[in-house]
Structure 1
Amino acid sequence: MVIKEKKDLGIEEYNPFEHRQVVKPNSDIRSLANLLKASLGSGLLAMPLAFSNSGWLVGIIGTIVIAFICGHCVHIFVKTSQGCCRLERKPLLSYSETCYATFSNGPKFLRPYAMFAKLFAEFSLFFTYVGVCCIFTVLIATSIKQLLDAYVASFILSIEYYCLILIVPLCLMVQIRHLKFLAPFSLMANIMLFATFAICLYYIFGDKITIADKNPVGHIARLPAFLSTVIFAMEGIGVVMPVENTMKKPQHFLGCPSVLVVAMTTVLVLYSILGLFGYFRYGDELRGTITLNLPIDDWPAICAKIFISISILFTYPLHFFVVIDIFTRYAEPHVKEQYKNITQIAVRAFIVCFCGGVGVALPYLEQIIDLVGALFYSILGLILPGIMETVFHWDNLGRYNWILYKNILIVFFGMLCLVSGSAVAIMDIIKLASGETV
C-alpha cells in the first residue's frame, strides 16, 4: 500500500489531527447531535410507509441490512479520507477533495480521472441536498396546512402557497454560517423529534394492534420504493465530512464506541420500532410521514404535527450548509472582498427560493423522498464510498482481494437501488400529475 511504502522510505507519518486548526470546533456531544439530526428527521417518520411497501418481515430485515451497509460505507469513506490526509499531508479533506485525492494517489491509469471524480462528487452533493431542502419545504408546508385547514376553516390555501410563505423564515434561518451555532438548533430539533416519536408511539400502542391483515412480504414492484425511502432515511453522508472535520477530537468519530457507532445504532433502533409498529397500526393508509396519519382533533397529535414542523425547520440550515459550502468554494474566489457578504446573503436567499419553487411545482412528498434517495443518496452513500476504498487500497486489496469483491457487491447494490428506485418514483410522479392514484 502507498502509506506503507512511504514508511519504508523513512518518511515520517503525518498525523492530520495534530495539524487541524478549526475556528469553532465541536465536542463529541455536539457532533453526535449534528450527525443524528442529519440521519433523523423526515426519514424517521417515513419509515412506516416504507414498511407498507415492503411488508413487515422484509422491512425489518431490510432495515437492519441497509443500516449495516450504510454505516459501513460511512466508515470506509471517512477512513479513506483520513488516509488521503496523511498522503497529501493535509489536516482535513472534504467529500469531493477525498475523491480527488483518492484518484490522484491511486493507480496510474486512474489518475487522469481525479478531477472528474471531484466534480462528479460535488455535483451529486449539491443536488442531493438541494433535493433534501425541497423535501423539507414540502413536509413543513404539508404539516402546517393540515393544522390550519382543520382549525382555521375560513383560511384555506393550497400547499403551493404554504411553500411560498415558508421562504421568508427559511431565508432568515440559512443566514447562520457556522456549524457550531447550528448545534443548539440541532439539539432542540432532536428533542422535538424524540417528542414526536414518543407521541407517535402513544397513538400506535394506544389501541389493540392487529397483525393478521398485514403483509409480511409486500409486492415486489414496490420494493424499490422501500429501498429508496430507507436509504434516504439512513444516509447523512454529505454532512459526515463537515461534522468530522469540525470535531475537537476527530479520532473519536470512528472506532467502538464512537460517534458513528452510537449514531447509527440509535438510528437503527428508532427506525425499526417506528417502521414496524407504525405499519401494524395504520397499514396501507399510511402517508408520506406518519404524523399526517395522526388525528387532527387530539392535542397530543396536534403537538406532534407542530413539533415535526419546527424540528424540520431547525434541521433545514444543517443540510443547507452542504449546498452553500460547495457554492462558496467555487464562487467566492471570484468575488471581490467588499461584495462577499452581500453575495452570501443573496445566494442563500436565491437557493431557498429555488427549493420553494420546486416544492410548488412538485408537491409530492413521498415521491420526492423516493427519487432523492434512489438517485443521489445511492451515489453518495453507497457507490462512491465503495469505489473510493477500492481505488485507495488498489495495491493491497486484502487476502483473496476481499476488499474488491466486497465493494463490487456494494456498488452493484447501489446501482440496483438507483435504477429501480428512480424508475418507480418517476412513474409515481407521472401518475399523480395526470390525476391517477399510486
Structure 2
Amino acid sequence: MSRKSGESKPLHGGYKPQLIAQVDQKKGGVNTQVVMTNYKSQKHDVPAQSTNGSTVPLVLGNPNNDVEAGDYDPYQHRNITHPTSDMDTLIHLLKGSLGSGILSMPLAFANSGLYFGLISTFTIGLICTYCVHILVKSAHTLCRRMRVPSLGFADIAETAFLAGPKAFHQWAKFAKACINLFLVIDLLGCCCIYVVFVAKNVKQVVDFYAADDYKFDTRIYMAACLLPLLLFNSIKKLKYLSPFSMIANILMAVGLSITFYYILTDNPTEEQKAERVVENIVSPIHWPMFFGTVIFALEGIGVVMPLENNMKTPQHFTGCPGVLNIGMFFVISLYSSVGFMGYKTYGKKAEGSITLNLPEDKILAQSVKLMIAAAVFLTYALQFYVPMEIIWKALKNSYQNRPTLAENVIRYSLIVLTVGIAICVPNLGGFITLVGAVCLSTLGLIFPAIIDTVTNYEDPGMGRFKWRLVKNCLLVTFGLIGFVTGTYVSIIEIIYG
C-alpha cells in the first residue's frame, strides 16, 4: 500500500522527518521547519532546525515523491548558484588549512624530536583526516534521514542527537551550543595569536634600527595594532575582504619561499651549532606542547562542511583518492617538511614563529618578517568574520531596535578583547599550544567521534564486537589526553615560560 499524502518513511526509533512550510506574507518568503515526529504518538518534538536565519537550506521538490521513488539523495536537492569544482575546492581546502600555524612547526619538533616528530606529525595528520571523513559521512547519513540537502558543523551535532534514540534528544541543543562555543573560542584565540605574531615580527625589525631608548616592549606594539584592526574590521562584507585575502596569500607564499631559502642555505658558526641542539626524540614531558602545536597547525575542520556543501560534485570530496585525501596529504607533507627542516637547522633555538629565527641584520630576512606580519594582519579580518557571525546570529533578536549600533558595539568590543588577551599573554608558543589543545582537540577529534557514535547508535549500530564504539572511544580518549595534558603544560609555559 502506498502511504498517505504527507507521510514519510519512518526513521529508526519510531521517528520520521516532516517538512512544514508556511508562507510569510510580510516577507514574501517561506518559513520552513524540519521537525522530528513520533509516528506512533504523532507528537512533535524539538525542531531540528529552522531555515529562517539558519544554516540548513530549504528542501527543493516534493519530499514525499522522493521517498516513494527511493532513498532521499541530498546531492540532488542542493540549490547552489555558483558551485565549486573539485580543483576550486582543493585550492580552498589548502588555503583554509595552510595558515600561520605552519611557521610554528619547528617549535613543535623541538618539543618532540626530529624523527619522532616526523612520524607523529603524519600520525596525527592521518587521525585528523579520518575524523573529517567520519564527520562528512555522518552528515550524509543525517541529510538522508532528515531529508535536507546539507548541514553545517553545529547543525550536524544537533541533528544527530535529534535523529537518534529519544534519550539523546535532550542533548541536541547543548551539542550544537558546544560546537559553536568552541568554534568561537578557537577563532578568537587565533585572532589573539595573530596580534602576538604581528607584534613580535615587527618589533624584531624595528629594534634592529632603533636606538636603545626606542626599543619598546612587545605589548606596546600589540596595543598599537588596536586602531588599525578596528578600522580594518569595519569591513563587514566577505566579498570586500577577498582582495585582502589574495594579497595575504601572495605575501605568505613569497615569505615562506624566502624562509625556505634561509633554512636550506643556513651556515651557522661553531657557537651557534653548540646552541642548536637537535635530538631524535625528547622527553615525554614535552610531548603535550608538540601535540597542541601540531593540532593547531593541521586542524582545518571548520572549513570542511562549507566546502563540501558547495561542491558541484560532492561525491568526489571523500573517497580514494578524493579531494580531502589529496589536500590533506599535501598539507601534512608540507607541514612535516617545514618542521623537520626548521628544527634540523635551528634545533632547540626554534622560536614560536620560524621567521623570528631568520637573521636580524639582513634586509631580505627583515622583509620576510614584515611581509608575513602584513599577511597575518590582513588575515585577521577573515578569521574574525566567522565568530562574529556566530555571536551576532545568536544575539541579534535581542537588539531589534538598533541592530547596527549593537552589532558595531559587539564587533569592536571583541576586537578590543582579542588585543587585550594578547597583551596579557604574549607567549606565542604557549598560546598556540593552548588554543590547539583546548579547541581543536575537541572540534577535530572528540566531537566527530561522538557524532559518529550517536548517528549510528541504532542504524547500522556499533558493528561486530562493538568495533565502532571501541574505535570512537579510543578517538575520544586520545582527544581528551591531548586536551588535558596540552592545556596544563601550555598554561605552565605561559605562566613560567
Tell me what 2:439 maps to.
376
Give runs of aligned pairs for residues 154-303 of structure 1, distance below 5 A: 155-207=214-266, 214-247=278-311, 249-303=313-367
| Contact 1:33–1:183 (8 Å) recurs in 2 | no
Distance change >3 Å, CA 165–CA 321, structure 1 → 2 = same
Measured after TM superposition, the shift of residue 365 of structure 1 is: 0.7
Measured after TM superposition, the shift of residue 264 of structure 1 is: 1.1
Gaps spanning 5+ residues in structure 2: where?
A: 1-9, 17-63
The CA distance in 2 between the partners of 1:183 and 1:17, in whole Å, is 28
Question: What is the aligned length?
Answer: 431
The CA distance in 1 between the partners of 2:182 and 2:80, in whole Å, is 26
Q: Does 1:111 align with 2:169?
A: yes
Q: Does 1:421 align with 2:479?
A: no
The CA distance in 1 between the partners of 2:244 and 2:279, in whole Å, is 39
Measured after TM superposition, the shift of residue 9 of structure 1 is: 7.6
| Contact 1:34–1:183 (8 Å) recurs in 2 | no
Measured after TM superposition, the shift of residue 77 of structure 1 is: 1.1
Tell me what 2:396 maps to.
332
| Contact 2:142–2:160 (8 Å) recurs in 1 | yes
Q: SS of 1:288's equivalent? A: coil
Q: Does 1:405 align with 2:470?
A: yes
Tell me what 2:418 maps to.
355
Percentage identity across aligned positions?
Answer: 40
Greater shift, 185-194 or 318-327, is seen at 185-194
| Contact 1:46–1:290 (8 Å) recurs in 2 | yes
Distance change >3 Å, CA 24–CA 10, structure 1 → 2 = closer
Amino acid in the other structure paired with 1:269: S
Distance change >3 Å, CA 137–CA 32, structure 1 → 2 = farther
Q: SS of 1:215's equivalent? A: coil
The CA distance in 2 between the partners of 1:422 and 1:373, in whole Å, is 9
Distance change >3 Å, CA 429–CA 301, structure 1 → 2 = same
TM-align CA RMSD: 2.9
Measured after TM superposition, the shift of residue 236 of structure 1 is: 1.5
Tell me what 1:436 maps to.
none
**What per-residue deviation string (whole Å, max 9, x for no partner) do you get for residues 310-351 of structure 1?**
221232233222201211321123332x73344333322221
Runs (4+) off by over 6 Å = 5-9, 209-212
The CA distance in 1 between the partners of 2:295 and 2:446, in whole Å, is 12
Tell me what 1:48 maps to.
106
Amino acid in the other structure paired with 1:274: V
The CA distance in 2 between the partners of 1:114 and 1:400, in whole Å, is 28
Amino acid in the other structure paired with 2:445: L
Greater shift, 141-150 or 163-172, is seen at 163-172
| Contact 1:38–1:319 (8 Å) recurs in 2 | no
Tell me what 1:392 maps to.
455
Which structure dedicates a bigger proportion of its chain to strand? Answer: 2
Q: SS of 1:272's equivalent? A: helix
The CA distance in 2 between the partners of 1:257 and 1:168, in whole Å, is 46
Distance change >3 Å, CA 33–CA 170, structure 1 → 2 = farther
The CA distance in 2 between the partners of 1:417 and 1:350, in whole Å, is 31
Gaps spanning 5+ residues in structure 1: where?
A: 433-438
Tell me what 2:201 maps to.
143
**What per-residue deviation string (whole Å, max 9, x for no partner) do you get for residues 275-329 of structure 1?**
0111111011111111001011212212221221122123223322220121132
Distance change >3 Å, CA 92–CA 152, structure 1 → 2 = farther
| Contact 2:193–2:422 (8 Å) recurs in 1 | yes
The CA distance in 1 between the partners of 2:145 and 2:231, in whole Å, is 41
Distance change >3 Å, CA 135–CA 389, structure 1 → 2 = same
Distance change >3 Å, CA 22–CA 96, structure 1 → 2 = same
Distance change >3 Å, CA 31–CA 340, structure 1 → 2 = farther
Amino acid in the other structure paired with 2:226: I
| Contact 1:138–1:163 (8 Å) recurs in 2 | yes
Measured after TM superposition, the shift of residue 74 of structure 1 is: 1.5
Q: SS of 1:91's equivalent? A: coil
Greater shift, 212-221 or 92-101, is seen at 212-221
| Contact 2:277–2:348 (8 Å) recurs in 1 | no
Measured after TM superposition, the shift of residue 87 of structure 1 is: 2.1
| Contact 1:150–1:296 (8 Å) recurs in 2 | yes
Distance change >3 Å, CA 319–CA 247, structure 1 → 2 = farther
Measured after TM superposition, the shift of residue 179 of structure 1 is: 4.8
Whichever of the two has the greater Rg, that structure is 2
Q: SS of 1:205's equivalent? A: helix
The CA distance in 2 between the partners of 1:30 and 1:348, in whole Å, is 31
| Contact 2:446–2:479 (8 Å) recurs in 1 | yes
Which structure dedicates a bigger proportion of its chain to helix? Answer: 1
| Contact 1:144–1:309 (8 Å) recurs in 2 | yes
Q: SS of 1:351's equivalent? A: helix
Tell me what 2:368 maps to.
304
Distance change >3 Å, CA 23–CA 135, structure 1 → 2 = farther
Q: Does 1:74 align with 2:132?
A: yes
Measured after TM superposition, the shift of residue 257 of structure 1 is: 4.2
What is the TM-score of this pair, normalised by structure 1? 0.89
Distance change >3 Å, CA 61–CA 118, structure 1 → 2 = same
The CA distance in 2 between the partners of 1:402 and 1:158, in whole Å, is 55
Measured after TM superposition, the shift of residue 213 of structure 1 is: 5.1
Amino acid in the other structure paired with 1:111: H
Distance change >3 Å, CA 307–CA 328, structure 1 → 2 = same
Greater shift, 288-297 or 174-183, is seen at 174-183
Amino acid in the other structure paired with 1:339: R
| Contact 1:34–1:186 (8 Å) recurs in 2 | no
| Larger RCO: 1 or 2 (CA < 8 Å, sep 6+) | 1
